[in-house]
């Protein structure tokens, strides 16, 4: 199922350098202020932010604006022998799907990479996505009799993995990666889009959606190819 939905690409990437493991941040869940590694964090109205934190290959910052009554999104950074794994999970219909993906996707990825001798490939990321979707589908079936609304939640997903000199990007739904690159010595920065949305107003997705999919996010947004639903 996810084979037709996922966009995977890899581009050359030079890591920012190693920090030797000191002052690194653990998994970061948006809205959770239990971070390490320094950097200013806080909440300003509906805005959650973290200015600068450190991970194995550089620095990161993050921010999210809460658009619904409860925050439905999740974020994580993991570093190890597999490189650096960054996940952004945009929940809709409720936070459950994003939380599930945040709890399980990286674990699947880590196990698959370990089986492959520590080598990260596009196929490893794809398999992790598939196993996560299969697990969530099984969870929906398990809860159907007592929590049928669980079948209506979902999560768009954006994952980046920096392994050696390669950046892998994977996305589901209305999520895109934009890479900022310096423009020579001008001091300017150019934006390079590295991924495409997988929504069904897009011409390339329409044939697949007519055959296989019937749901819309919150019955308001465009049909989306994402976890859950």
Asked whether the beta carbons of 174 and 156 are under 8 A apart, the reply is yes
Hey, what are 142's tokens? Answer: 């398990």
CATH class of 2-228: alpha beta
Quick check: 19 pLDDT over 70? no
Tell me what the mean pLDDT of segment 5-24 comes to: 38
pTM as predicted:
0.71
Query: CA triplet 9, 124, 109: central angle to 5 degrees?
Result: 115
Hey, what are 150's tokens? Answer: 């669980």
Say what the pLDDT of residue 41 is.
Answer: 76
Paired strand residues for 161: 85, 168
Query: How many Cα atoms are found within 13 Å in the side-chain-facing hemisphere of 229?
Result: 21
| Eight-state DSSP code of residue 212 | H
Closest CA to 99 of 30, 33, 7: 30
| Cα gap 51→75, rounded to integer Å | 14
Asked whether the beta carbons of 97 and 91 are under 8 A apart, the reply is yes
Closest CA to 77 of 15, 39, 26: 26
Hey, what are 132's tokens? Answer: 């996560």
Q: For the chain, what is the mean pLDDT? A: 74
| Cα gap 178→74, rounded to integer Å | 19
What would the pLDDT profile of 74-122 be if each residue is shown by its tens digit?
Answer: 888 888 888 889 999 988 888 899 999 999 999 999 999 999 999 999 9
Asked whether the beta carbons of 34 and 74 are under 8 A apart, the reply is no
Which secondary-structure segment (H or E) carries 88?
A: strand 83-92
Structure confidence at residue 31 as a pLDDT band (50, 70, 90): very low
Quick check: 149 pLDDT over 60? yes
| Cα gap 100→129, rounded to integer Å | 12
Say what the pLDDT of residue 139 is.
Answer: 94
């Amino acid at each position: 199922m996810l084979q037709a939905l996922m966009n995977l690409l890899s581009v050359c990437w030079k890591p920012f350098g190693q920090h030797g493991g000191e002052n690194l941040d653990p998994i970061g869940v948006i809205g959770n202020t239990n971070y390490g590694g320094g950097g200013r964090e806080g909440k300003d109205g509906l805005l959650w932010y973290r200015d600068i934190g450190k991970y194995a290959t550089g620095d990161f910052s993050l921010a999210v604006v809460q658009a619904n009554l409860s925050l439905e999104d999740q974020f994580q950074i993991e570093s190890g022998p597999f490189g650096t794994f960054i996940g952004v999970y945009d929940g809709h219909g409720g936070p459950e799907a994003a939380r599930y993906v945040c709890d399980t996707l990286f674990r699947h990825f880590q196990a698959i990479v370990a089986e492959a001798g520590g080598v990260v490939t596009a196929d490893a990321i794809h398999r992790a996505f598939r196993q996560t979707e299969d697990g969530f589908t099984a969870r929906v079936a398990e809860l159907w009799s007592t929590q049928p609304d669980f079948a209506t939640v979902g999560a768009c997903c954006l994952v980046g993995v920096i392994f050696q000199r390669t950046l892998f990007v994977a996305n589901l739904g209305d999520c895109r990666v934009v890479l900022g690159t310096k423009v020579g010595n001008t001091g300017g920065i150019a934006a390079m889009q590295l991924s495409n949305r997988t929504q069904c107003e897009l011409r390339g997705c329409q044939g697949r959606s007519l055959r296989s999919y019937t749901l819309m996010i919150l019955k308001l947004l465009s049909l989306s190819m994402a976890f859950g639903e």
